[in-house]
Amino acid sequence: MNMNPKKGIVGFTSDCIRWSLSGGLGFKLYIVILLALMGAGVYAYTNQYQHGLITTGMSNIVSWGLYISNFTFFVGVAAAAVMLIIPAYILKDKDLHEVVIIGEGVAVGALVMCLLFITVDMGGPLKVWHMIPGIGLFNWPSSILTWDMLVLNGYLALNTLVPLYILYCNYNNKKPVGWKYKPFVFLSIFWAVSIHMTTAFLYQGLPARPFWNNPLLGPRFLASAFAAGPAVIMMVLIVIQQKTNYLIDKNVFFKLKRIIVASAIINLLMLFSEIFKEFYNATHHSLSAQYLFFGLDGHDALVPWIWTAIGLNILGTLLFAFDPTKCNPKYLMPAAISLFTGIWIEKGFGLIIPGFIPSPMGEVIDYAPTANEILITLGVLALGILVVTLLIKPSLVILQRFKELNT
């Protein structure tokens, strides 16, 4: 391991940059692919910026699409870091304490994606300053969107500053001082719940859209987030375990698996409760659900997606619940991918698009994203993955070095 005698902020920054960019040919190729995707996204965005959102598949009926769907889902991924923070800091779990920083890195990447998805969805991105209190007008507390802006940016700050402080201390071979960061850790636990509840309230608070106007939405968001988020973290951990020499205890996988199974089962239970309510005595308010699960008036674009999602959801849950291999990464990876993809579809466009169909005036149309829209989405996803990669790499080096110096 690189034993660097440098100290202070300058050394910390330059070393972090060096560590995050160094790697073999495979790593370089991976970075180049991410950069290429981002480049394509930027190109597609200039197109959208010039011609307007007419370049997307959205319309006056389905007025939010792929961007807001992904935004909603990744808020959940960001919130899921708390499922590592609670056991690590409150239950003093040693195993999970080792990987909590990875959860926080994933949260930062997810939040960057969320904020970017909101930005690319805006009609007037240059006018965002209208939202800044003081120079603009901030419709707080009335607009839930302003609440969401506050909690997302606050959570981003918490998840950046706490790990930064700990890493900086470790870099200088010091132990972080508890009172300096612990209060923020506890704050971030409540904050994680609040980002996802607030995002649910964005939709839940609209009587105009019966599909969303449902008190179960917030709790279900949390349950699905606490299944999909740790699934992402598990995927990242498996990659780290196989590609680096950073040691990850087998217990970590075991504990993560337990969290995932519990959350996934609660999520499925709530999904079942919703489906029962929509279909046992179907009303006018069930039309969106009917559109989603079975199609309506000959429009059924989402039907294959939602059944795939439910299939993957159940499959992932079962794979995690009955693991005969006792946490073999080769077994856990497909299980995590299955559950993650299932929830991504179901809570992304499976939740957002049907909210708009039928329209308040009863019209039924299908929504399909355009190629341009998909390119922008892929660009944002690539940026998020890049952020996670570049954050986690130097963190692992610092943590490893600190451990070696102290044994």
Partner 1 sequence: MDSRKKEGQMKTNDILEKKSTRRSFIKKLSIAAAAGSAGLVAGGCVSTGETTEEMGLKWEEYFKKNYRMMTDKEKDETVARLEKLAKLQDDVNIQMSNQEPREKVLFGYAFNISRCKGYMDCVEACVKENNLDRNSKTQYIRIFEMDSGQQDPTSGDGKYHHEVPVENKYYMGIQCFHCENAPCIKACPTKATWREPDGIVVVDYDWCIGCRYCMAACPFWGRRFNWGEPEVPKEELNTKQHYLGNRKRMKGVMEKCTFCVQRTRQGKLPACADACPTGSRVFGNLLDPNSEIRYVLKHKKVFRFKEELGTDPKFWYFMD
Residues that bind partner 1 (CB under 8 A): 46, 49-54, 56, 58-60, 63-64, 118, 121-128, 130-131, 136-139, 142-146, 149, 202-203, 206-209, 284, 355-356, 358-363
The CB-of-191 to partner 1 minimum distance in angstroms stands at 20
Q: Rounded to an integer, what distance in angstroms lies between the CA atom of residue 129 and that of residue 37?
A: 28
The CB-of-164 to partner 1 minimum distance in angstroms stands at 29
Q: Rounded to an integer, what distance in angstroms lies between the CA atom of residue 23 and that of residue 26?
A: 8
The CB-of-129 to partner 1 minimum distance in angstroms stands at 9
Q: Enumerate the H helices of 244-327 as residue ranges.
A: 250-280, 287-294, 303-321
Query: In terms of CB distance, is 118 or 225 closer to partner 1?
Result: 118
Please name every residue paired with 133 in a beta bridge, in sequence order, or none if there are none.
136
Phi first, then psi, for residue 296 (nearest 5°) are -140, 135
Query: In terms of CB distance, is 19 or 356 closer to partner 1?
Result: 356
Q: Rounded to an integer, what distance in angstroms lies between the CA atom of residue 90 and that of residue 194?
A: 18
Query: In terms of CB distance, is 103 or 355 closer to partner 1?
Result: 355
- Answer yes or no: are the C-beta atoms of 367 and 300 closer than 8 Å: no
Residue 272 structure tokens: 């079942």
Q: What's the Cα-to-Cα distance from 176 to each of 19, 30, 404, rounded to whole Å?
A: 22, 33, 17
The CB-of-334 to partner 1 minimum distance in angstroms stands at 36
The CB-of-209 to partner 1 minimum distance in angstroms stands at 7
Residue 243 structure tokens: 């590609």
Query: In terms of CB distance, is 48 or 313 closer to partner 1?
Result: 48
Residue 104 structure tokens: 């926080």
The CB-of-218 to partner 1 minimum distance in angstroms stands at 17
Please name every residue paired with 296 in a beta bridge, in sequence order, or none if there are none.
299
Residue with tokens 């972080």: 176
Query: In terms of CB distance, is 122 or 247 closer to partner 1?
Result: 122
Phi first, then psi, for residue 299 (nearest 5°) are -105, 120
Query: In terms of CB distance, is 45 or 253 closer to partner 1?
Result: 45
